[in-house]
Amino acid sequence: MENGLIESMRIKLLPVSLEHSKELFIVYSDDLTTQYVPRERHTKLVETEELILRFINLVKEQKGLVYTIVNKEEQTIIGNAGIYGLDLENKKAFLGAVIHSNYWSKGFVTETLNKLIEICFKELNLVRVEGSCAEDNIASEKIMQKIGMTYEGTLRSNVIINGKNTNSKVYSILDKEFLCN
C-alpha cells in the first residue's frame, strides 16, 4: 500500500507531510471551513502539526492513506483528504475531506473523492467505501450523492461538532456499483 502522488485534471494529491503544516493551518483555522468538522478549529500551528503527525501514523500503521490537496492551476494547498478506517481484512474504509471555504462549490472535493474511490476499489480491492456528514451539511451530502454513494441512514448524536452532539448521515458505495459506472 503506497501513499504516492496522485493527479487528476485540476488537483494533485500529495502524501500528507509536515511540510504542509502552514498551509493546512490556514484551512483548519478558518471558521467557515471547520463548521462541520468533528475537531476544534485550530488556533495554533502546533495543533495542525499534531494532526498531520496522526495522519502520518495512520499511513505507517496501514490504517489509511492521507493526502494534501493542491489546486494545480494556482499551485496552492487547499485542504486534505483521505481513506480512513482502512480494514483490508473486511475490505472496507471510509472517506473524508476538508477544503478551505474559498474553494467550496467548485468541484475540487468531488474530483478528489472520485480519485480516492478509484484507489479503494482498483488498488486496495475494497468491497465497501463509506462517507458521512453532519445532518445539516447539505453540500457534503450532495457530493456523496454525486460520486455514486447511496444513503443508508442517519446516526443519532454520534459525533460532536463545535461542542454539540450532532446527527450524521451515512452513505456508501460498493465495488459492484462503482465498477458498473
3-state class (DSSP) for residue 29: coil
**Residue 177: how many CA atoms within 13 Å on its side-chain side?**
14
**Pick from 125, 117, 142: nearest CA to 6:** 117
* Residue count (the chain): 181
Q: What is the pTM of this model?
A: 0.93
C-alpha cell, 101:
471555504
3-state class (DSSP) for residue 155: strand
| pLDDT exceeds cutoff 90 at 77 | yes
The structural domains of the chain, ordered by start, are: 6-180 (3.40.630.30)
In tens, the pLDDT along 106-159 reads 999 999 999 999 999 999 999 999 999 999 999 999 999 999 999 999 999 998
